[in-house]
Amino acid sequence: MQIAPQKVVLIHYTLTDEAGEVLDSSEGNDPLAFIQGAGNIISGLERALEGKTAGERLNVRVEPEDAYGVRDDELIQSVPSTAFEGVENIEPGMQFHAETQEGLQMVTVLAVEGDEVVLDGNHPLAGIPLHFDVEIVEVRDASEAELEHGHVHGPGGHHH
């Protein structure tokens, strides 16, 4: 069975950056399970998998535009440290959820400068070409419940 919209796909993968540093991997875990065409994974990887079948292996390079986007310097801003009520020690690398005009967004602390905290609203992998080493484990029809919920149920997927 070929990977196509509304098919459940299970893959093992290793994600690396340009230098070959491993950023994420399914090794030692259940395969990643997703519904093709449901926006469960980045668009560049989803397109590369289209038409492939179980048992195939592939190496895919995904450009930032088809992954987590290009870096946007406008998403870097300073806010008063008083905005972090209840947080005693704010340090670079910490991540918080912030309410924005677009809804809840993850922000990363870049620096603490006196009473100001410099935040980055870009995804941590924004602007980075990504390399996926993928093994397609299984391709099957999605159940009606999976299609209705928009995600895979069971191992490697969502558990209700």
pLDDT of 71: 96
- Check whether residue 33 and residue 77 sit in a common domain: no
- Check whether residue 108 and residue 93 sit in a common domain: yes
Q: Are 157 and 151 in contact (CB under 8 A)?
A: yes
Considering its fold, how many domains does the chain have in total?
Answer: 2
pLDDT of 28: 95
Q: The tokens of 66 are what?
A: 């088809």
Task: Give CA–CA dist 119/121, Å, rounded.
Answer: 6
Write down the residue that tokens 């994974």 correspond to.
41
In a domain, 159, yes or no: no
**Integer angstrom CA distances of residue 126 from 16, 33, 97, 120:** 14, 23, 17, 11
DSSP string, 53-103: BTT-EEEEEE-GGGTT----GGGEEEEEGGGSTT-S---TT-EEEEEETTE
pLDDT of 156: 56
Structural domain including 92 reads 73-120
Which CATH number belongs to the domain containing residue 48 in this structure? 3.10.50.40
pLDDT of 155: 61
Task: Give CA–CA dist 47/60, Å, rounded.
Answer: 10
Q: The tokens of 23 are what?
A: 């950023």
**Cα first-last separation, the chain:** 27
**pLDDT tens series, the chain, 160 aa:** 999 999 999 999 999 999 999 999 999 999 999 999 999 999 999 999 999 999 999 999 999 999 999 999 999 999 999 998 888 899 999 999 988 777 888 999 999 999 999 999 999 999 999 999 999 999 999 999 999 999 998 765 655 5
- Check whether residue 104 and residue 63 sit in a common domain: no
- Check whether residue 54 and residue 12 sit in a common domain: yes
pLDDT of 157: 60
pLDDT of 9: 97
Q: The tokens of 25 are what?
A: 């991997």
- Check whether residue 132 and residue 96 sit in a common domain: no
Distance of CA 84 to the CA centre of its chain: 26
Degrees, nearest 5: CA angle 84-85-90: 40
pLDDT of 22: 97
In a domain, 158, yes or no: no
- Check whether residue 58 and residue 86 sit in a common domain: no
pLDDT of 114: 92
Q: Which residues contact 111 (CB under 8 A, 6 or more apart)?
A: 92, 117, 118
- Check whether residue 12 and residue 63 sit in a common domain: yes
In a domain, 155, yes or no: no
Q: Are 35 and 103 in contact (CB under 8 A)?
A: no
pLDDT of 43: 97
pLDDT of 159: 52
